[in-house]
């Protein structure tokens, strides 16, 4: 039987480019190469696509795109069903058959539906969610609206348009302050890894945070601040879902921001399982699967919650969903399933099987 060719797609025009490099490095170091012929296709920060044949170390340190001897311009064939990577070498075009794609990319142009739409047009099976689910889940405003109608509890919030800040800040400020008073959370509606997210304690910080978030996305979410445990659950499946043990993030900072998630000197710690009641954990897992079902999740997602103690009871509050979660060595998605007994390579195998339509 022919060994299937697995194409790992990484990089991209995104503020989370470096996280993609770290994620794909972990995958390349853990994938079972006896099962797959693994090839890599990298996208630079300025959007150039290259078939890459160099070392994983050069991806890890970010120098891969300087390895000219290991780079050839390439593109996925737009002809539906051809399942080919077109590799350019002067006037010659090499055609490589691709059986399945693992897009290991995060943020805009990566998990917001744009890439998924392109991959769907090629007809090549790929790991993860399709265009519509990716686009909806990336937009926190749309996600909140859909899940509110489902009765999923969530933080009070309002949507702010970045272009309205200059002439309407006082009105915007008043609306934000009605949520709960300070502190408040400000985050781009379309963003990940907490890039552009800020906790603000007064009107001056609010304005600054809104202006910074508007540089990333013109649609901004302002939420009430919730004092609670931050919990996450990993989900796997196409329509029948498996939810992992619930994990807990102890950020070690004002909130679980980009540095807390990825900096080498991060003070963040993890509890797996989370320090919550068993019945609360079960409810979180069920709610995560319900959310995935409504949004049409395929392959994988990580669903984040707050657990707040109120009048002696643990209250579950939905935070957000990530449809292409990080796969770095410290990322919660693989950590949670590894805690449940899977190896990292088995997680990859399962996701590839799901991409190929193998449910069980």
In this prediction, residue 262 has a pLDDT band, given cuts at 50, 70 and 90, of very low
Mean per-residue pLDDT, 146-174: 93
Report pLDDT for 260: 52
Report pLDDT for 257: 52
Q: Is the pLDDT of residue 265 over 80?
A: no
In this prediction, residue 15 has a pLDDT band, given cuts at 50, 70 and 90, of confident
Task: Evaluate whether 333 touches 321 at the Cβ level (below 8 Å).
Answer: no
Q: What is the mean pLDDT of the chain?
A: 93
Mean per-residue pLDDT, 122-138: 97
- Kindly report the backbone phi and psi dihedral angles of residue 10, in degrees, each rounded to the nearest multiple of 5, phi listed first: -145, 170
* Structural domains in the chain plus CATH codes: 5-126 (3.40.50.20), 137-152+226-355 (3.30.470.20), 157-224 (3.30.1490.20)
Q: Is the pLDDT of residue 255 over 60?
A: no
Q: Is the pLDDT of residue 1 over 80?
A: no
Distances (CA, A) of 353 to 37, 134, 190, 349, 357: 15, 20, 29, 6, 6
Report pLDDT for 195: 77
Mean per-residue pLDDT, 196-214: 95
The length of the chain, given as a count of residues:
360
- Class of residue 17 by CB neighbours under 10 A (exposed 0-12, middle 13-18, buried 19+): buried
Q: Which residue has the higher pLDDT, 86 or 252?
A: 86
For the stretch 35-71, pLDDT in tens is 999 999 999 999 999 999 999 999 999 999 999 999 9
Task: Evaluate whether 107 touches 16 at the Cβ level (below 8 Å).
Answer: yes
Task: For residue 159, count other CB atoms closer than 10 A to its CB.
Answer: 14
In this prediction, residue 192 has a pLDDT band, given cuts at 50, 70 and 90, of low
Q: Tell me what percent of the residues of the chain surpass a pLDDT of 70.
A: 95
- To the nearest 10 degrees (0 to 180), the angle between helices 131-138 and 278-295 is 120
Q: Is the pLDDT of residue 191 over 80?
A: no
In this prediction, residue 279 has a pLDDT band, given cuts at 50, 70 and 90, of very high
């Amino acid at each position: 039987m022919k060994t299937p060719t697995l194409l790992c797609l990484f990089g991209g025009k995104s503020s989370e480019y470096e996280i993609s490099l770290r994620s794909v490095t972990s995958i390349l170091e853990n994938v079972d190469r006896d099962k797959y012929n693994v090839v890599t296709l990298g996208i630079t920060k300025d959007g150039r696509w290259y078939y890459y044949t160099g070392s994983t170390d050069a991806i890890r340190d970010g120098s891969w795109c300087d390895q000219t001897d290991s780079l050839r311009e390439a593109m996925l064939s737009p002809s539906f069903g051809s399942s080919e990577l077109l590799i350019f070498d002067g006037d010659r075009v090499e055609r490589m058959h691709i059986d399945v794609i693992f897009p290991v990319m995060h943020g805009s142009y990566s998990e917001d539906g744009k890439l998924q739409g392109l991959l769907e047009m090629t007809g090549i099976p790929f790991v993860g969610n399709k265009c519509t689910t990716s686009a909806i889940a990336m937009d926190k405003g749309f996600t909140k609206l859909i899940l509110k109608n489902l009765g999923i509890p969530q933080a009070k919030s309002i949507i702010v348009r970045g272009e309205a800040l200059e002439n309407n800040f006082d009105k915007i400020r008043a609306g934000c302050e009605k949520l709960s008073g300070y502190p408040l959370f400000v985050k781009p509606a379309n963003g990940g890894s907490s890039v552009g997210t800020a906790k603000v304690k007064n009107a001056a910080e609010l304005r600054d945070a809104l202006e910074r978030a508007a540089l990333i996305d013109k649609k901004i979410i302002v939420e009430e601040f919730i004092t609670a445990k931050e919990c996450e659950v990993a989900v796997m499946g196409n329509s029948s879902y498996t939810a992992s043990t619930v994990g807990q993030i102890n950020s070690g900072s004002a909130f679980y921001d980009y540095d807390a998630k990825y900096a080498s000197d991060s003070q963040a710690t993890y509890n797996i399982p989370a320090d919550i009641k068993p019945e609360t954990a079960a409810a979180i897992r069920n709610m995560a699967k319900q959310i995935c079902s409504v949004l049409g999740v395929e392959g994988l997602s990580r669903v984040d919650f707050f657990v707040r103690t109120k009048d002696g009871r643990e209250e579950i509050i939905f935070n957000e969903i990530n449809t292409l979660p990080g796969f770095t060595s410290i990322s919660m998605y693989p950590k949670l399933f590894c805690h449940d007994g899977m190896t990292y390579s088995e997680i990859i195998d399962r996701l590839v099987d799901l991409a190929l339509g193998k449910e069980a």
